[in-house]
Amino acid sequence: MKLKKRARKIASKYYHMLKKLTYSDNDVFLIYSMGKVGSSSIYTSLKNQKRYSDIYHVHFLSNNWLDKILPELHESFHSNIKLGYDILNFIEKHPQKKLRIITLVREPVMRGISDLFQNWRHLYDDIEEIDNTKLKERVENIKHDYTLNWFDTEFLEYLNVDIYSLPFDKEKGYAIYDYDRFDILLIKLEALNEIGASAMAKFLAEEFKLSKANTSALKKTNEKYNFLKKNVKMDDTKLTNLYASKYVQHFYSENEIEGFKKTWSKKN
């Protein structure tokens, strides 16, 4: 029985390898974005729909991050270095394949809260042991440099594409940009549930079903996460400066920005 089970497993492995080798799709799908912007949902959905395509999920591909910044950070971030170079090597070995790049943006404060619960291990031994008030203070003092600068320090350096020079329909919530070597789909996370499937369908030229990524990692810290969403508050001066950044101004409407300010303002 064990031999039959093993034989089936081996046969299945080689069957899928053969399917991948003979699959006609000549594109490489690259979910390439900063962290905690909903990219896992896109990646999971795309993997479910295009089982034999080359699909990668990555946050860093530039020399700036892979060679300079990441090596200096906590070891919990170092896996990004190998992943980045593995993907760069694959792309270099397949110059005939066109890159289909999907990237996303998210309002900085909520992205910062989500990032804390994803990457707390370089800060705490156990985030469950940290008082909610201390977590609140940490979030309120985030500078958001990573979020505000990612398209300059990462996207621009690797792709040589200045995203801020390209038009973006803030009401539509997504945009598609076509280049010779690659195409880019940019989606605003806040609109993902509403327009994500249709935006992906247009980008892929086929129907697309958007499924939610597994969020079980948040279950353990769900109470703390919800506490921060409800209780993080900042001075209006800090909020004004944050939302005056070119990142926020390029992707979000005045109504959206006023809504963000209202959510996080100490006056509310």
- Segment 40-52, tens digit of pLDDT: 999 999 999 998 8
Residue type, 123: L
Q: What angle do CA 20, 21, 23 make, to 5 degrees?
A: 60
Q: How far apart are CA 233 and CA 180, in angstroms?
A: 45
Can you tell me the distance from the alpha carbon of 196 to that of 44, in angstroms, rounded to the nearest whole number? 13
Q: What pLDDT shows up at residue 22? A: 43
- Per-residue model confidence (pLDDT) at position 267: 86
Note the pTM of the prediction, 2 decimals: 0.88
Q: What is the C-alpha separation between 59 and 84, in angstroms, rounded?
A: 8
Q: Helix, strand, coil: what percent of the chain each, to 5?
A: 60, 10, 30
Instruction: Give the three-class secondary structure for 56.
Output: strand
Is pLDDT at 218 greater than 60 in this prediction? Answer: no
Is the pLDDT confidence value at 240 over 90? yes
Q: Please, which pLDDT band fits residue 25 given cuts at 50, 70 and 90?
A: low
For residues 55-68, give the mean pLDDT: 97
185 DSSP β-pair partners: 102, 176
pLDDT score recorded for residue 4: 57
Whole-Å CA distances, 214 to 28, 47, 51, 172: 24, 14, 18, 27
Distance CA(245)–CA(107), nearest Å, equals 11
Which tokens in the block code for residue 111?
């992205």
Give the pLDDT of residue 24.
45
pLDDT over threshold 60, residue 71: yes
> Are the C-beta atoms of residues 29 and 206 closer than 8 Å to each other?
no
Provide the mean pLDDT of the chain.
90
Asked if residue 15 has pLDDT above 50, the reply is: no
